[in-house]
Amino acid sequence: MAKTAVKVGKLIDGNGGPVIDRGVVVIDGKRIAAVGSQSEVTIPPDATIIDEPGLTAMPGMMDLHLHIAQFNTLTFRNYRVAQFEVSPELQQLYALFHAQLCFERGFTTLRDEGLMSTRGLLTEHTIAVRDAIALGVFAGPRIIVSAFTVGTGSHLDLILPRAMLRNPAATADGVDEMRKLARQNLLRGADWLKTCASGGGGTDKESPQVRNHTQDELNAVCDEAHAQHAYCSIHCFTPQSQAMAIEAGADTIEHMVFHSDEMIEAIVSHGIPVCPTLLHRTDHAIEVRRTIGTPQFTLDKMKKIQPFTFETFAAMQKAGVKIFMGTDMGQEPDMGSNAMELEIYVKLGMTPMEAILTTTRNAAEAVHLDEDLGTLDVGKYADLLLVDGNPAEDITVLQPRENIKAVMKEGKIYVDRRKGSEKDVIDVEYASWALADG
Ligand SMILES: [Zn+2]
């Protein structure tokens, strides 16, 4: 097995402690063999040395709520046109491309939170992308697939136009059908199931407090996931829906948006991690949405819920909710710019180091991958980044693509933008591609 020693000016190990000056990570094959200060760690004589005293090493980042098969603004112009003009097969190829856009910006693990196309669920399409990358056929991030397991007319069904003829196999109603759809998704190879307990920002004209499923249906989805050692994530906007998700045994709560003190207390006491997806709520996101055919009522609603979302985040942070990073990236702002989410967390009260933890250690814990991922510790996979700047001082240094100097996954360097190197996973000139619905 090839050994590599990565020597850096600063080392952030993802455990939240002080930044280590003049650090080193020793990698043996796919995993970390030693880590710490250069004065304390012995570098094996047969190791290849990477010496970058001007750079910071940190664990690969994770975006654990996004939709890679969604019509991204980088590859589509109008999502409503794209819904009808793009086949699921083309969407699948874009899913790979979108995953790579995140990967080359430092995101080594993604949890895809599912999608539906005009022809039905995209579960198998996303799973094939996940597997092609895992098999090493394509370069890209590790993908966790969370498959839509939802009822007719639920928030996630309404991502498609109301008047559209639907594939009846894409949704389920009643406990038995819900169990069957859950089992089918798990049979196809889903790692997680994704369901919804309330309406959302883009689909309901009035209050998002719409009961999407009965308690029995939600319980059935979570129960099927757990029966097969998989997990269940539940979209919730309102305290009523949060209560239903807790009762069902949700493994993660997505969005939150509105809160009550009572629900925050319950989430803390149950230890359920929450993914806030704030980038999706910014003025920038609203403007991007405006350009891609989003109805005015949705834009108005996004603006209206924005302050509640930010208040809820601050309240969760104060109460000690386990927060992990997700962007809801799909339609907006731009696939690959995911690290902008962390800047919002800092603006709302986290320290830069706390924000880093949401996308490293705490993220890995939220999806039960912390034995292998999330920190630079001995025995874990060598998923690491070399960054120009110190994100523990300035979280925004993680945003520009030119600052992400190297991306390593399981000990292999996939992106290398250091002096004299020009290695990337995307082999077309950036933004030279045509729009699929152009
Ligand atoms: Zn989402």
Asked whether residue 293 falls in the same domain as residue 382, the answer is: no
Cα 384 to middle of ligand 1, angstroms = 26
Find the Cα–Cα–Cα–Cα dihedral 203, 207, 213, 214, rounded to 10°.
-170
Residue 63 confidence (pLDDT) above 80: yes
Cα 279 to middle of ligand 1, angstroms = 12
Cα 31 to middle of ligand 1, angstroms = 32
The gap from C-alpha 17 to its chain's centroid, in whole angstroms, comes to: 24
Asked whether residue 256 falls in the same domain as residue 293, the answer is: yes
What would the 3-class secondary structure string for the chain be? CCEEEEEEEEECCCCCCCCEEEEEEEEECCEEEEEEECCCCCCCCCCEEEEEEEEEEEECEEEEEECCCCCCCCCCCCHHHHHHHCCHHHHHHHHHHHHHHHHCCCEEEEEECCCEECCEECHHHHHHHHHHHHCCCCCCCEEEEEEECCCCCCCCHHHCCCCCCCCHHHCCCCHHHHHHHHHHHHHHCCCEEEEECCCCCCCCCCCCCCCCCCHHHHHHHHHHHHHCCCEEEEEECCHHHHHHHHHHCCCEEEECCCCCHHHHHHHHHHCCCEECCCHHHCHHHHHHHHHCCCCHHHHHHHHHHHHHHHHHHHHHHHHCCCECCCCCECCCCCCCCCCHHHHHHHHCCCCHHHHHHHCCHHHHHHCCCCCCCCCCCCCCECCEEEEECCCCCCHHHHCCHHHEEEEEECCEEEEECCCCCCECCCCCCCCCCCCCCC
Q: What is the pTM of this model?
A: 0.97
Residue 40 confidence (pLDDT) above 90: yes
Q: What is the mean pLDDT of residues 187-215?
A: 88
- Please give the Cα distance from 128 to 133 (Å, whole number): 9
CB neighbour list of residue 294: distance below 8 Å, 6 or more residues apart: 79, 202, 331
Asked whether residue 251 falls in the same domain as residue 178, the answer is: yes
Asked whether residue 13 falls in the same domain as residue 40, the answer is: yes
Residue 319 confidence (pLDDT) above 80: yes
pLDDT band at 285 (very low <50, low <70, confident <90, very high): very high
Q: What's the pLDDT tens digit per position in 362-395?
A: 999 999 999 999 999 999 999 999 999 999 999 9
Cα 328 to middle of ligand 1, angstroms = 5
Asked whether residue 347 is assigned to any structural domain, the reply reads: no
Asked whether residue 263 falls in the same domain as residue 117, the answer is: yes
pLDDT of residue 270: 98
Q: What's the pLDDT tens digit per position in 98-157?
A: 999 999 999 999 999 999 999 999 999 999 999 999 999 999 999 999 999 999 999 999
Cα 374 to middle of ligand 1, angstroms = 22
Cα 22 to middle of ligand 1, angstroms = 39
Cα 208 to middle of ligand 1, angstroms = 15
Cα 137 to middle of ligand 1, angstroms = 27
Asked whether residue 84 falls in the same domain as residue 30, the answer is: no
Residue 202 confidence (pLDDT) above 70: no
Asked whether residue 88 falls in the same domain as residue 35, the answer is: no
Residue 269 confidence (pLDDT) above 90: yes
Residue 293: CATH number of its domain: 3.20.20.140
CB neighbour list of residue 321: distance below 8 Å, 6 or more residues apart: 264, 267, 268, 273, 274
Asked whether residue 50 falls in the same domain as residue 91, the answer is: no
Residue 409 confidence (pLDDT) above 70: yes
Cα 29 to middle of ligand 1, angstroms = 35
Q: Domain total for the chain?
A: 2
Asked whether residue 74 falls in the same domain as residue 49, the answer is: no
pLDDT of residue 297: 87
Cα 357 to middle of ligand 1, angstroms = 21
Asked whether residue 352 is assigned to any structural domain, the reply reads: no
Asked whether residue 156 falls in the same domain as residue 42, the answer is: no
Cα 252 to middle of ligand 1, angstroms = 13
pLDDT of residue 203: 64
Asked whether residue 233 is assigned to any structural domain, the reply reads: yes
Q: What is the mean pLDDT of residues 218-242?
A: 98
Cα 372 to middle of ligand 1, angstroms = 25
Beta-carbon count within 10 A of 205 CB:
10
Asked whether residue 187 falls in the same domain as residue 218, the answer is: yes
Arithmetic mean of pLDDT over the chain? 95
Nearest-CA neighbor of 406 among 420, 427, 392?
A: 420
Asked whether residue 75 is assigned to any structural domain, the reply reads: yes
Asked whether residue 294 falls in the same domain as residue 388, the answer is: no
Residue 36 and residue 53 in contact, taking contact as beta carbons nearer than 8 Å: no
Residue 38 confidence (pLDDT) above 80: yes
Look at residues 338, 354, 386 and tell me which one is the last residue of a structural domain.
338
Q: Give the domain range for residue 51.
A: 3-59+375-416
Q: What is the mean pLDDT of residues 251-269?
A: 97
Q: What is the mean pLDDT of residues 235-243?
A: 97
Cα 286 to middle of ligand 1, angstroms = 15
Cα 319 to middle of ligand 1, angstroms = 24
Cα 331 to middle of ligand 1, angstroms = 10
Asked whether residue 432 is assigned to any structural domain, the reply reads: no
pLDDT of residue 205: 64
Cα 96 to middle of ligand 1, angstroms = 18
Asked whether residue 354 is assigned to any structural domain, the reply reads: no
Higher pLDDT, 300 or 397: 397
